[in-house]
Structure 1
């Protein structure tokens, strides 16, 4: 089977500095990969590079065997959706306006504005409310909803639990599982190990700009020495 995502020797960085230094990564259709690592090792840079927001200096990124274009809007139209760290919703626009904009170039699929609002009913109650007035948890749900209505094949999730209460994090877990049920693959960058372990099929660890370890989630959870060595956690 051809991997949905195939990253080979990917290098990128900022202002002449190298952050990613030869990342090799594959992701199968409908799978969830939790990407872990200490602060500053390049996890968010990888997400932003895959979305075309940080230019590559070398390497290849294939989606379903086809080279991804370099421009973010073309990557989105190829079937990749980004849920960025910090939500990054447009404060003046209402919830409904966010969803309307996101559906303009949606791919055919099961996710519609109505089905997403059924999954995230709190947003239905806030349809006419500006995004800037939502709580942090509601903004995170909006960022996820905005991605889902495009019917992506691949969702890039960057720290979705950042700054949120445990009850909201549990809701995010449910949504990620539903993404997988509907056939999307997910690359999840997350510091909350509980969330990552609960939803991920596999765990990969990024260090010094490369993937240094990858295994199934249960094996990683059962190997505390490796977790401590790579992540500094018990």
Structure 2
């Protein structure tokens, strides 16, 4: 397994959010992580990236222990984050964002020209400041910034949030392209259509733990479980 998480406990200040998460993810696989608000999905993403301190447990990427390591160390191990809310720098242009992402990157197939081929609208806006982009364009920039590091694992936190359906389709296309290139993807998402479209498996979190995980097709055939765990039909 490319990613192996064992008994992971983390949280903020003296508050525990993750209560013993166990998770495995193979190279080239996409796992859709679902759950009600406040169950720890984003905290898991941020903990894996080194942005939330680990209380106990293990995070291994290709056998290397990363629990408690700094975000830059995690990034150098091949992990990239697309955070919720985009978090691009308003005063930098698209070109400047991508130049920074390319600096010191791991060797691999992703290049600026390749990203622009996949996202022609971003190419058209390459000299615009990120603060002048639409929400959808900023999301494309956030994804492009992540893949240009040539990661082996991408953590996506609510990438469809606030986006028009056409832009969500582009996000889905990027995830599919990453998966085809052998990149593992952990997708936290409220949009079930997106999660179902791109995920090999679906996992559900409750109270800081993963309580259910099955192939996507099986999850879709079991509306009773979806209703019980997510409150949706």
TM range (shorter): over 0.9
What residue in structure 2 maps to residue 51 of structure 1?
Answer: 49
What residue in structure 2 maps to residue 13 of structure 1?
Answer: 11
| Superposed counterparts of 1:62-211, under 5 Å | 62-68=60-66, 70-211=69-210
Q: 46-55 or 67-76, which moves further after superposition?
A: 67-76
- What is the DSSP-based 3-state SS (H/G/I as helix, E as strand, rest coil) of the residue aligned with 2:151? coil
Deviation string for 1:57-91 (max 9, x for gaps)?
00000001111261001111110000000000010
What residue in structure 2 maps to residue 39 of structure 1?
Answer: 37
1:15 shift after superposition? 1.3
**Aligned residues of 1:176 and 1:199 also touching (Cα < 8 A):** yes
1:160 shift after superposition? 0.3
Deviation string for 1:78-124 (max 9, x for gaps)?
10000000000010000000000001121111101110111111111
| Superposed counterparts of 1:208-219, under 5 Å | 208-219=207-218
CA RMSD of aligned residues (A): 0.6
Unaligned runs of 5+ in 2: none
1:27 shift after superposition? 0.1
**Aligned residues of 1:77 and 1:105 also touching (Cα < 8 A):** no
1:16 shift after superposition? 0.4
1:222 shift after superposition? 0.3
Q: Whole-Å Cα distance in 1 between the matches of residues 82 and 27 of structure 2?
A: 18
Q: Whole-Å Cα distance in 2 between the matches of residues 56 and 120 of structure 1?
A: 36
1:126 shift after superposition? 0.8
Q: Whole-Å Cα distance in 2 between the matches of residues 18 and 121 of structure 1?
A: 43
Q: Whole-Å Cα distance in 1 between the matches of residues 106 and 163 of structure 2?
A: 30
- What is the DSSP-based 3-state SS (H/G/I as helix, E as strand, rest coil) of the residue aligned with 1:105? coil
Q: Whole-Å Cα distance in 1 between the matches of residues 179 and 115 of structure 2?
A: 14
Q: Whole-Å Cα distance in 2 between the matches of residues 117 and 157 of structure 1?
A: 20
Residue 233 (str. 1) matches residue 232 (str. 2): yes
Matched residue count = 232
What residue in structure 2 maps to residue 25 of structure 1?
Answer: 23
- TM (normalized to structure 1)? 0.98
Q: Whole-Å Cα distance in 1 between the matches of residues 105 and 112 of structure 2?
A: 11
Unaligned runs of 5+ in 1: none
- TM (normalized to structure 2)? 0.99
- What is the DSSP-based 3-state SS (H/G/I as helix, E as strand, rest coil) of the residue aligned with 1:160? coil
Q: Whole-Å Cα distance in 1 between the matches of residues 108 and 121 of structure 2?
A: 23
